[in-house]
Amino acid sequence: MSDPARLFDRGLLRQRRDRHAGVHARHDFLFAHSAEEIAGRLQAILHDFPLALDLGAHQGRHGRGIADNPKIGQVIYGELSEKLARACPRPAVVCDEERLPFADDSLDLVVSGLALHHVNDLPGALIQIRRALKPDGLVMASLLGTRSLEELREVLIVAEAEEQGGASPRIAPFPDIREAGALLQRAGFALPVTDTETLTVSYESLADLLNEIRGMGAANVLNERRRTPLLRRTLRRAENIYRERFSLPDGRIKASFEIIYLSGWAPAPTQQKPLKPGSAKQRLSDALQTEEKPAGEKAGFHSPSEES
């Protein structure tokens, strides 16, 4: 029996990444987009990072994206798959995002692109990252959010239920943006920031979409997955449902990928902190040049029910 607390089969994930390492570069458009976004955000930060880690590097898109930044020193590439790690620049290490091999207070920056949504203990992984960072070190990461592949999830559930009498889990339960922000705080990061974007991508067919997912090394690795492949009649039915519900005017089908970006700083005494309640030296009403009224008094506002 699988451990219900462990959603993902990490050994299978490593095998999938190894198996598709040779074609990953043909299916890395999401990684390229995320890498460009994170590199741009780092350009705006006035801070030096002598030692950086690209965690879950795949073929090193994110590390390469920040390597030319003059504020970045040495970049280390850490990847679960040995074959993908070989495609990264040096130095590269084979490492698991769930068990980081880095000493406490050893890194200045950790970037991670579209890897952390496949760890079983995301709070624990973030805590390990925070411990590996020096005080005032920064983590900047992207991961898939809950809207990712929502069309495919719906189609497969309906088709498998119709054709095989029941549906099995095939799309991972990705986090939403509120969960991601809360996890940063739970992990002890200061000044946490999260935001999200959704990319809509079109494909000629369901087969093309599934091939893209496999090429990313991101096919189903849920521990509770059905061990047998989908039947051909189920795939045909899924294709028909997909075109009925999610086709585009040009006849292609659409797929959504939500990317959540998160960042946080390892606590340091020099960081800005919020003021204590009651410590303000000026009243808000003075700054706004308005009249301050006690709670309960109306201040020129009324609801529609108060109109005569």
Instruction: Please check the confidence at residue 95 and state whether its pLDDT lies above 80.
Output: yes
pLDDT (average), residues 227-238: 90
pLDDT of residue 291: 63
Residue 55 lies inside a defined structural domain of this protein = yes
pLDDT in tens, 124-147: 999 999 999 999 999 999 999 999
Instruction: Please check the confidence at residue 223 and state whether its pLDDT lies above 80.
Output: yes
Question: How confident is the prediction for the chain on average, in pLDDT?
Answer: 89
Residue 304 lies inside a defined structural domain of this protein = no
Q: Which of 1-15, 47-61, 81-95, 217-231 has the lowest mean pLDDT?
A: 1-15
Residue 234 lies inside a defined structural domain of this protein = yes
Instruction: Please check the confidence at residue 303 and state whether its pLDDT lies above 50.
Output: no
pLDDT of residue 304: 38
Residue 156: closest CA among 70, 36, 245 = 245
* Residues of the chain above pLDDT 90, percent: 77
- For residue 116, the enclosing domain spans 10-269
* Residues of the chain above pLDDT 70, percent: 87
Instruction: Please check the confidence at residue 225 and state whether its pLDDT lies above 90.
Output: no
pLDDT of residue 279: 58
Residue 254 lies inside a defined structural domain of this protein = yes
Residue 277 lies inside a defined structural domain of this protein = no
CATH number of the CATH domain containing 27? 3.40.50.150
Instruction: Please check the confidence at residue 276 and state whether its pLDDT lies above 90.
Output: no
pLDDT in tens, 20-63: 999 999 999 999 999 999 999 999 999 999 999 999 999 999 99
Residue 131 lies inside a defined structural domain of this protein = yes
Spatial CB neighbours of 208, under 8 Å, sequence gap ≥ 6? none
pLDDT of residue 280: 57
Number of domains observed in the structure of the chain: 1
Residue 17 lies inside a defined structural domain of this protein = yes
Instruction: Please check the confidence at residue 284 and state whether its pLDDT lies above 70.
Output: no
Edge-to-edge strand list for the sheet holding 107-113: 92-94, 72-79, 49-55, 107-113, 133-144, 253-265, 190-203
Q: Kindly report the pTM of this predicted structure.
A: 0.85
pLDDT of residue 2: 45
